[in-house]
């Protein structure tokens, strides 16, 4: 048989399989419409269509899920448990189809029903169970673990309300609840039989038995049940389907019965509601601790249920022999939010399994690894000892014991240094003593990592310097990454197809392959296709903006995007200062710049963060004035898009030309939005902060716009004594801009509205906006100049994509696995049952 005959036969078989698949997809969707939902094609709504399609996808997932779990079981594989209070999953339908390799088949079938996948997708709610980068990173990691065939499990909370919906009313942010479960969630499987009790409050009764052994019993505690809900995590075209287990709070059965016995039905019902409030809502703060009792209870609730579940799974194989526990179990702590797990595992091993302290401690420290995500002091978790001891009395005892043994070690290692004990203690002394969760996490883990090269250096050189000197080999870097499946294949199909036409499709699983795009930057017809894809994405976003904000923008203009949580350190304000100063330039001469510009903002502010909310109001107010000023001839438009989240990011990023990554050097641990933009062909304007530095290394300095002070210069300036007023007094355009803000130019009805912003800059400027202002403005003029030469810009866009290989979360996860978890990947074969 000749080669081409072979090919023909293969194609024919492929087509038969595909048509069989299409038939069974169609049958199943119909079945769900008519049987599960009791509808027909006349009465079916969009939501019914979505639900039926999702339930059909779920059948494919479930089959693979069972196979995967069975394979892990049969191999007694080592597992990695990723504990996170946040998983920012976004929507599941399109992503599942892409990963299952069934997108085209479903697309065809759905059209036969008179709709499209895009239309159905619009019905899905985002699973917004996170705030920002930290939660989205967890979601990308799950995708990579599954794609790499690693036995990875996510564990978190099934919040009934995720991150709030943001509306912009009269220029202000208004928060409304996110009822993402209102129409049910076809992606989750509730497991009412999987229930664990979790205790709070009460006291510890200590006793010594006849053999002289010491025992602790947690008495009079109130109990909440944790009920599991499972969500499938499909790998990319490899049949692996991993599990994300989210816990919901339920009141106990005894509780339910007690109202019969005591007759106080109303009280019992209201107590039940209070108990179940535990998993009601996600705290909407990013990079900011709040110190609320309910939050500490959430942290312990999910940690305790998770560890009970992990131990149950381990004991199925090894019964009471815990010696293999660290060989079979790796636990990664996503920030300190789940750090109480260290004390909880000690408690379960000592009080529950009757192991000795030393045995338990050896197991604990070999099992846990901790990722730090921030150096901002206001984000580092500290719990008052009083509150901690009230809620978790046994854990407080255990932490004191861990601390006392640890400080003995410190004293031995640094005998002549008495200050160091105070600095390193897990307990911060003072009037209101605090448990410093990062210290607990470091002491109880065998690995501590930062999330970019710079951030990991800062951890070693300053934030955790003493700990680094004590245990240098514990500390390591794992530069963040993003999944190319969601952040290119699914969100930018046109660019994804163009890349595949040029270099084949291996890049989806091996992102370094994108380097092969480099020579195509010299191919004019390729450049044209690249430009066309970007322009069409921009047209689509322009239509969205017109619908959402009523603002008409020019798709040919430079799309300049800053989309991320609102935080002073991220310096959205610096971007606004630039917009205003550009407006002033254009007011004098609309022809003064070389490229028309559209500045796009998106981002939520924590509901209690007043300055961040005022910055949103300033952005929308400046937009109002500037967008409606005929003098500037439409050369500048500003758009603030409401309710930024995963789904909106998927619309904006493929359409952007310029990615704003302008945090004060040394403040943004990594950033991951920066990577998503580069992967979709936007050029970065940024500081030497977080992963920007590594993007610069990968794409080359000609293909990125770097400005401002580096982190060493920031430190120097701060140490020397920084005076923002000096800059205000010496830079005319800055002075004019600040004066316009403070004098009410953008708030004519409320002249003093933005005074607090101007004053905080003039008198404090904690994030050194004034120091970086000139350099930023100058660099923006350079951006316009380069954007005006389409061909050069497009080449640079290609070089950015070609240089994005390092930023796949597959690479990140491979590093975690090689250095920290050490799991074997488990291939999943489908075949016969």
Residues 6+ apart with CB under 8 A from 698: 803, 804, 805, 806, 807
Which of 679, 655, 555 lies closest to 602 in space, CA to CA? 655
Residue 373: active-site member: yes
CB of 5 to ligand MIF, least distance (A): 52
CA distance 490 to 443: 41
Cα 392 to Cα 396: distance, rounded to the nearest angstrom = 6
Of the two residues 97 and 134, which places its CB atom closer to ligand MIF in the complex?
134
Known catalytic membership, residue 570: yes
Nearer to ligand MIF, 151 or 671 (CB): 671
The first and second tokens of residue 19, run together, are 């048509």
> What phi and psi, each to the nearest 5 degrees, are found at residue 193?
-80, -15
Query: Is 565 an annotated catalytic residue?
Result: yes
Q: How far is the CB of 736 from ligand MIF (least distance, A)?
A: 33
Taking the C-alpha atoms of residue 10 and residue 81, their distance in angstroms, rounded to an integer, is 41
CB 138, min distance to ligand MIF, A: 9
Q: Is 672 a catalytic residue?
A: yes
CA distance 618 to 601: 12
In the complex, what is the shortest distance from the CB of residue 704 to ligand MIF, in angstroms, rounded to a whole number? 18
CB nearer to ligand MIF: give 106 or 283. Answer: 283
Measured CA to CA, the distance from residue 52 to residue 29 in angstroms comes to: 5
Query: Is the Cβ of residue 138 or residue 706 nearer to ligand MIF in the bound state?
Result: 138
Residue 377 main-chain phi, psi, to 5 deg? -55, -35
> Which candidate in 67, 434, 474, 564 is catalytic?
564
- If the CB atoms of residues 141 and 583 are measured against ligand MIF, the closer one turns out to be 141
233: tokens are 């995590």
Strand partners, 445: none
Least distance between ligand MIF and beta carbon 451 (Å): 4
CA dihedral 399, 405, 409, 415 (to 10 degrees): 100
Q: How far is CA 609 from CA 129, 147, 289, 604, 612, in A?
A: 20, 38, 12, 10, 6
CA dihedral 528, 533, 534, 536 (to 10 degrees): 120
The label of the residue with tokens 């010696």 reads 323
Count of helices and strands (H, E) across the chain: 33, 24
Provide the 3-class DSSP secondary structure of residue 281.
Answer: strand
Min CB(670)–ligand MIF separation in Å = 4
Taking residue 772's Cβ as centre, other Cβ atoms within 10 Å add up to 23
Residue 644 · residue 165 · CB < 8 Å: no
DSSP alpha helix (H) spans, 731-768: 732-743, 755-763
The three-class DSSP label of residue 376 is coil
Tokens of 554: 């020019």
User: Residue 93 or residue 379: which is nearer to ligand MIF going by CB?
Assistant: 379
Please identify which of the residues 79, 395, 565, 637 carries the catalytic annotation.
565
Collapse the DSSP code of 307 into the 3-class scheme (helix H, G, I; strand E, B; otherwise coil) and give the result.
helix
- The pair of structure tokens assigned to 487 is 């952040």
**Residue indicated by tokens 């794609």:** 147
Q: Cβ of 277: how many Cβ atoms within 10 Å? A: 14
Contact 484, 646 (CB under 8 A): no
The nearer residue to ligand MIF, 586 or 669, going by C-beta atoms, is 669
Minimum CB separation of residue 662 from ligand MIF in Å reads: 13
Compare residues 286 and 784 and give the one whose CB is closer to ligand MIF.
286
Instruction: Give catalytic status of residue 313 as yes or no.
Output: no
Q: Contact 481/811 with Cβ under 8 angstroms?
A: yes
Contact 62, 135 (CB under 8 A): no
Kindly tell me which of 455 and 538 has the beta carbon lying closer to ligand MIF. Answer: 455
Nearer to ligand MIF, 476 or 733 (CB): 476
Cβ proximity to ligand MIF: between 339 and 777 the closer is 339
Q: Give every strand in the sheet of 597-602, ordered side by side.
A: 636-641, 597-602, 558-563, 658-661, 683-686, 705-706
**Which residue is associated with the tokens 């501590």?**
448
Burial of residue 614 (CB within 10 Å: 0-12, 13-18, 19+) is: buried
- In angstroms, the first-to-last Cα distance of the chain is 33
In the bound state with ligand MIF, the residue whose beta carbon lies nearer, of 335 and 772, is 335
Q: At its nearest, how many Å lie between ligand MIF and the CB of residue 274? A: 28
Closer of 227 and 375 to ligand MIF (Cβ): 375
Nearest approach in angstroms of CB 323 to ligand MIF is 34
Q: Which of 26, 67, 289, 373 is catalytic?
A: 373
- Shortest distance in whole angstroms from residue 231 CB to ligand MIF: 21
**What is the CB neighbour count within 10 angstroms for residue 793?**
21
Q: Least separation, in Å, of the C-beta of 454 and ligand MIF?
A: 11
* Contacting residues toward ligand MIF, per CB under 6 A: 132-134, 137, 286-287, 373-374, 379, 451, 480, 668-672, 690
Residue 197 β-bridge partners: 225
CA 626 to chain centre: 33
Dihedral sign of CA atoms 15, 17, 18, 23 in order: positive
Choose the catalytic residue: 229, 529, 676, 796.
676
Clarify whether 336 is annotated catalytic: no
- Evaluate whether 52 touches 122 at the Cβ level (below 8 Å): no
Q: Which of 318, 316, 313 is nearest to 331 (CA)?
A: 313
Q: Which residue is nearest to ligand MIF (CB)?
A: 133
Handedness of CA 746, 752, 756, 758 (dihedral sign): positive
**Catalytically annotated residues:** 373, 564-565, 570, 672, 676
């Amino acid at each position: 048989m000749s080669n081409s005959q072979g090919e023909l036969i293969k194609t024919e078989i492929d087509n038969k399989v595909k048509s069989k698949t299409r038939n069974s997809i169609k049958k199943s969707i119909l079945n769900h419409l008519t049987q599960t939902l009791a509808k027909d094609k006349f009465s079916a709504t969009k939501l019914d269509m979505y639900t039926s399609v999702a339930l059909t996808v779920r059948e494919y997932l479930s089959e693979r899920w069972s196979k995967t779990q069975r394979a892990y079981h049969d191999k007694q594989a080592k597992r990695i448990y990723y504990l996170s209070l946040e998983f920012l999953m976004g929507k599941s339908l399109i992503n599942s189809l892409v990963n299952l390799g069934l997108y085209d088949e479903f697309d065809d079938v759905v059209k036969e029903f008179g709709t499209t996948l895009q239309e159905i997708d619009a019905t899905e709610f985002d699973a917004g169970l996170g705030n920002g980068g930290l939660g989205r990173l967890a979601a990308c990691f799950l995708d990579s673990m599954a794609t790499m065939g690693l036995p990875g499990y996510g564990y978190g909370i099934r919040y009934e309300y995720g991150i709030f919906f943001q509306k912009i009313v009269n220029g202000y942010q208004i928060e409304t609840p996110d009822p993402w479960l209102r129409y049910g969630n076809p992606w989750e499987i509730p497991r009412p039989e999987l229930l664990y009790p979790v205790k709070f409050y009460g006291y510890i009764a200590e006793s010594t038995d006849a053999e002289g052994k010491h025992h602790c019993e947690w008495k009079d505690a109130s109990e909440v049940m944790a009920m599991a809900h499972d969500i499938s995590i499909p790998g990319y075209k490899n049949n692996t389907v991993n599990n994300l287990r989210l816990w919901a709070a339920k009141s106990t059965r005894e509780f339910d019965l007690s109202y019969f016995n005591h007759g106080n039905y109303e009280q019992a019902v209201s107590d039940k509601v209070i108990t179940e409030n535990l998993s009601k809502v996600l705290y909407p703060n990013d990079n900011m601790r709040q110190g609320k009792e309910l939050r500490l209870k959430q942290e312990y609730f999910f940690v305790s249920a998770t560890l009970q579940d992990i131990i149950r799974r381990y004991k199925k194989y090894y019964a009471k022999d815990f010696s293999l526990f660290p060989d079979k179990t790796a636990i990664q702590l996503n920030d300190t939010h789940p750090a109480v797990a260290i004390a909880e595992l000690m408690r379960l091993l000592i009080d529950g399994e009757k192991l000795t302290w030393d045995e338990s401690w050896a197991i604990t420290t070999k099992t846990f690894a901790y990722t730090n995500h921030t150096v901002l002091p206001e984000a580092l978790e500290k719990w008052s000892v009083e509150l901690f001891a009230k809620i978790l009395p046994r854990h407080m005892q255990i932490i004191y014991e861990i601390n006392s043994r640890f400080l003995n070690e410190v004293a031995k290692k640094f005998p002549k240094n008495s200050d160091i004990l105070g600095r390193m203690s897990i307990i911060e002394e003072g009037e209101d003593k605090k448990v410093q969760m990062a210290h607990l996490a470091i002491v109880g883990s065998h690995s501590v990592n930062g999330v970019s090269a710079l951030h990991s250096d800062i951890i070693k050189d300053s934030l955790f310097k003493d700990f680094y000197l004590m245990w240098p080999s514990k500390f390591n870097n794992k530069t963040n990454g993003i999944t190319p499946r969601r952040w290119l294949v699914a969100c930018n199909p046109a660019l994804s197809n163009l890349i595949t036409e040029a270099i084949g499709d291996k890049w989806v699983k091996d992102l370094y392959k994108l380097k092969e795009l480099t020579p195509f930057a010299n191919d004019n017809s390729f450049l044209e296709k690249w430009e066309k894809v970007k322009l069409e994405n921009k047209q689509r976003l322009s239509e969205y903006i017109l619908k959402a904000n009523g603002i008409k923008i020019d798709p040919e203009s430079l799309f300049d995007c800053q989309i991320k949580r609102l935080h002073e350190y991220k310096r959205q304000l610096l971007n606004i200062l630039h917009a205003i100063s550009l407006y002033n330039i254009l007011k004098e001469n609309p022809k003064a710049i070389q490229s028309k510009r559209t500045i796009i903002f998106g981002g939520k502010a924590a509901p209690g963060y007043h300055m961040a909310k005022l910055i949103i109001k300033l952005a929308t107010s400046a937009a109002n004035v500037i967008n409606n000023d005929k003098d500037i001839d439409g050369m500048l438009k500003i758009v603030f898009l409401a309710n930024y989240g995963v789904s909106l990011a998927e619309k904006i990023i493929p359409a952007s030309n310029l990615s704003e990554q302008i945090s004060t050097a040394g403040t943004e641990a990594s950033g991951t939005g920066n990577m998503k933009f580069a992967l979709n062909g936007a050029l970065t304007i940024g500081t030497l902060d977080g992963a920007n530095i590594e993007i610069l290394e990968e794409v080359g300095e000609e293909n990125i716009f770097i400005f401002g002070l580096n982190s060493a210069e920031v430190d120097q300036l701060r140490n020397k004594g920084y005076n923002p007023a000096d800059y205000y007094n010496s830079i005319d355009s800055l002075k004019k801009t600040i004066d316009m803000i403070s004098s009410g130019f953008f708030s004519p009805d409320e002249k003093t509205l933005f005074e607090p912003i101007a004053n905080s800059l003039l008198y404090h400027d904690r994030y050194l906006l004034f120091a970086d202002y000139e350099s930023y403005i100058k660099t923006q003029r350079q951006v316009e100049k380069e954007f005006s030469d389409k061909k050069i810009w497009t080449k640079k866009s290609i070089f950015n994509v070609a240089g994005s290989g390092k930023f796949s979360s597959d690479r990140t996860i491979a590093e975690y696995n090689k250095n920290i978890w050490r799991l074997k990947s488990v291939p999943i074969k489908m075949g016969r049952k």
